Each structure stands twice: as C-alpha cells, then as structure tokens.
Chains A and B, each alone.
Chain A
C-alpha cells in the first residue's frame, strides 16, 4: 500500500491574474430631477423596458421631470457602443439602466 503519495515539498504557482480594470469614476450627481430629461436605457432584454417604465412612473409622480427618452442599446451581451452613449448624452440629463431578464 502506498502511503506517501506525493510526499515531497513543492513550490506551486498562483493561476489567477489580477486584471487592471479602468474606471472613469462616477458622474456628478444631479441635485434634483426637477426639469430633467430622463433617459431610460434598456439592454434589449424582454422585461427591461417594463421595469424602466415602472421606475419612471414612480419618479414622475414624485418629481416634475421634463421628459422620458426611451432607448435600447440593442444587444444585452455586449457593452453599448461609445458613440451611441455619446449621442445619448446629448439628449438627456440623467440615465437609468435596467437589465430585465
């Protein structure tokens, strides 16, 4: 019977990698939603738009928001295109995102 399987000191290596993830920090928070254009950005999932509309209804009850701007990034599995986000930023003051799977 073998009783000393692998009984030998070893040095072994860490298989993981520490990835440097770029962060842009948080956008400046708006002090009030009054008069703001609210962007509702769905990720193309079936229930995302429903969830965002429900959130918007609550906000519209509580604040004198200017408008809702509904937009779909078109592919739940990939990040939104930077140009798409840049264009969106021209149309809205605040963005709310939802992943309604």
Chain B
C-alpha cells in the first residue's frame, strides 16, 4: 500500500474550477492542466513503484529536492498516463546531474529549453513519436512527458518565467514541451542508437537530455553523398563559431539513407565535420568570434595566425548525430546546446520500468 500523500489539498466544485485555480495560483504553464487528484497521483506513483517521499533528484545549486509525490502531481497536471512515469523519472535523474547545469540553463538570459530524446523499446510501448513531425504536436506521450519536466522545473524548483527566476531574453517554445524519440528504424546500417553510443545496451530504454537553443532546419534535396550532406550541415554550424563542444545533428531518414548506401559509420560524421568544416582565423574574426560565449582559451583566436584553420567543432565527438523524422523530404537540422556545450553537457540515463 502506498503511504499517504502529504501535499496540501484544495477542495473545488468541479474540474473547471480546478483548472482556473491552478491558473490563478501560477501553477500552470499558461495552458490548462489536468486536475491532480490524489487518486490520479497515486496511480502515477504505483506505475513506477514509488513511494511519495522517494527522492528523484536534487538540483545541485539550490539543493532543491524533487520528491516522487511532487513529480507525480506535476506529471498528472501535464496529462501523462501513469505508464509514462518511468520516463519522467529518468529525465529528472538526468537533468539533476551536475554536468547538465540545470540551474544555469533554466535561469539564463540565453533561454535554453530542455530537449528529451527517448530511445529503446519503451518508445514503441508508449508510442513516443519519432517519425512524421516528430517535433510537432499531436502525440500525447511526446507532448505530456516534455511538459511534465517543465512543470517540475517551475513548480518544484521555482524556476518560472512569469515573475520568477527564469530570465530568458527571448524564451523558447520548447519550454512548453520538447520530447522526441529517435527513429531507430531509420538508422543507417550498423549505426547504434543514441543511448547505445552513450554506453547503454540495445535492449535498454533511455532518455537523453540536452539544453537546446533554437534549431536550424535546412533542406538539401539535390545531393546524395554523405560528404555533401555534411557540408550542408557545416554551413549551419558556422554561425555558432569555432570550437563548438557539443551539437545535436538531426539527420532525417532520407539523408540517413545516403549514409547507409555509402557504408558510412556513425563515427565518421563527427570526424568529417571536424576535419573539413574549418575557417581561417581571419574569417572567424570577421564573423565576430570569439564571442562572449566562447571565451574558452582553446577557442581564443587572438594570437592565431590569420591563415590558421580552426574547426567549427572542438573535437570529432562534439557532433551528436541522431536520426529523426518522417520518410518524405530531405529536411535535417542542427540544434546547439546552451553555451554550445561548454557549460552544459548532454546526459543519458536508463529508464527503469520496475524500480
């Protein structure tokens, strides 16, 4: 039997009054929430074999504690089904790792959102969309799991944009919700899924979190070799400046098929860009680099010879390729992380169905 819930409760006359009450209390993200009744919250906890005071994560800077009960309340509000809870838990574990720098990315003027990338068998079980319009609306699991993480951040950690600690200059639509699955069926031959590249096994499910800034989508319908496709990627990376430490390359299935046909390995992607996407110091400086966000000594160009070539990537491993999207259309994208990966790292955590 699950121990008693300890959160304060409110009596309301009906669901609509509950929705309005949560708006008035500043507990919503601006959209209506599902009223979190004790029964619904208990079902969420039971689905993940949690007790209310289990600690799912501690935000390292403020020491703010995320308990299972509060996370479950926010997951219900977001519209999650109980079976989504293990994904929410893994995402909370991931975002509270020190290297993710959750406090920094959620209060910063740079305004990153948190992108969740789910891998493994659970993506099929929960119907997390990885195909047509993977970044778009219309899929409950994608929409509500991502939203649950945002509500956790605003309600439990207190980092909200409406009169709160979130000081983003522009904000980001992904702050409502940003959750996708990798399209593992469209991976080129012998390419490992993202979570396997990050050290887990094929049979496991996992969530990877990234502090994502606005992505840049581009079409490249005319070429069919990996080299020319990656050259097109490089053109979208250059505006980030030299020495980018981490960046997600979203490869659509049509582009992925060309890597498969050419027999390219996944590791070749970062290696090719690192070795070929280079500019002389004079060009980087003319583009305004190093900027304030790149004052890392390794990316300083001040002493560099004007003809010295510097790569857009810090290393071949700086590129994080994932395959996402529908079969039709040759539209891929680059998504840079907050601080271009220098102060927030991509983190992967396994999803445990039974804790």
> How far is it, in angstroms, between the C-alpha of A15 and the C-alpha of B152 when the chains are bound?
8
Contact A6 B104 (CB under 8 A): no
Set of chain B residues within 8 Å of A17, measured between Cβ atoms = 64-67, 70, 155-156
From A6, A12, A15, contact of B16 by CB (8 A): A6
> How far is it, in angstroms, between the C-alpha of A90 and the C-alpha of B13 when the chains are bound?
61
Set of chain B residues within 8 Å of A16, measured between Cβ atoms = 27, 70, 155-156, 158
Q: Does A58 contact B (CB under 8 A)?
A: no
> How far is it, in angstroms, between the C-alpha of A12 and the C-alpha of B76 when the chains are bound?
11
Q: Does A29 contact B (CB under 8 A)?
A: no
> How far is it, in angstroms, between the C-alpha of A6 and the C-alpha of B101 when the chains are bound?
41
Set of chain B residues within 8 Å of A9, measured between Cβ atoms = 11-14
> How far is it, in angstroms, between the C-alpha of A79 and the C-alpha of B103 when the chains are bound?
10
Set of chain B residues within 8 Å of A78, measured between Cβ atoms = 61, 101, 103-104, 343
Q: Does A87 contact B (CB under 8 A)?
A: no
Contact with A along B1-27 (1 / 0, CB 8 A): 000010111111111101001100001
Q: Does A32 contact B (CB under 8 A)?
A: no
Q: In the complex, how many angstroms separate the beta carbon of B220 from the nearest chain A beta carbon?
A: 35
> How far is it, in angstroms, between the C-alpha of A79 and the C-alpha of B343 when the chains are bound?
13
Q: Does A28 contact B (CB under 8 A)?
A: no
B interface, by DSSP: helix, strand, loop or mixed? mixed
Contact A77 B343 (CB under 8 A): yes
**Residues 50-96 (chain A) with a chain B CB within 8 angstroms:** 75, 77-79
Q: Does B308 contact A (CB under 8 A)?
A: no
Query: Given A8-B15, A77-B339, do A14 and B77 touch, yes or no (CB 8 Å)?
Result: no
Q: In the complex, how many angstroms separate the beta carbon of A65 from the nearest chain B beta carbon?
A: 29
Counting contact residues on chain B (CB < 8 A from A), the size range is 35 or more
Contact A101 B11 (CB under 8 A): no
Contact with A along B235-256 (1 / 0, CB 8 A): 0000000000000000000000
Contact B63 A6 (CB under 8 A): no
Set of chain A residues within 8 Å of B15, measured between Cβ atoms = 5-6, 8, 10
Query: Given A9-B12, A9-B13, do A15 and B27 touch, yes or no (CB 8 Å)?
Result: yes
Closest to B33 in A: A15
Q: Does B73 contact A (CB under 8 A)?
A: yes
Q: Does A30 contact B (CB under 8 A)?
A: no
Counting contact residues on chain A (CB < 8 A from B), the size range is 20 to 34
Query: Given A6-B14, A19-B63, do A12 and B70 touch, yes or no (CB 8 Å)?
Result: no
Query: Given A13-B7, A46-B292, do A5 and B70 touch, yes or no (CB 8 Å)?
Result: no
Q: Does A21 contact B (CB under 8 A)?
A: yes
Interface centre among A11, A12, A21, A77 (most CB of B within 10 A): A12
> How far is it, in angstroms, between the C-alpha of A71 and the C-alpha of B350 when the chains are bound?
41
Closest to A44 in B: B295
**Residues 40-66 (chain B) with a chain A CB within 8 angstroms:** 41, 61-66
> How far is it, in angstroms, between the C-alpha of A17 and the C-alpha of B92 when the chains are bound?
15
Q: Does B131 contact A (CB under 8 A)?
A: no
Set of chain A residues within 8 Å of B5, measured between Cβ atoms = 13
Q: Does A1 contact B (CB under 8 A)?
A: no
Query: Given A5-B16, A6-B15, A78-B101, do A15 and B151 touch, yes or no (CB 8 Å)?
Result: yes
Contact B104 A13 (CB under 8 A): no
Set of chain A residues within 8 Å of B339, measured between Cβ atoms = 77
Contact B62 A21 (CB under 8 A): yes
> How far is it, in angstroms, between the C-alpha of A6 and the C-alpha of B37 when the chains are bound?
13
Contact A10 B156 (CB under 8 A): no
**Chain B contact residues, CB within 8 Å of chain A:** 5, 7-16, 18, 21-22, 27, 35-38, 41, 61-67, 70, 73-74, 77, 101, 103-105, 108-109, 151, 155-158, 292, 295, 339, 343-344
Would you list the 5 A-B pairs with minimal beta carbon distance, nearest first? A6-B15, A77-B104, A14-B8, A15-B155, A13-B7
Contact sample, A vs B, 8 pairs, CB 8 Å cutoff: A6-B18, A7-B13, A13-B10, A15-B7, A15-B77, A16-B70, A22-B63, A45-B292
**Chain A contact residues, CB within 8 Å of chain B:** 5-17, 19, 21-22, 44-46, 75, 77-79, 101
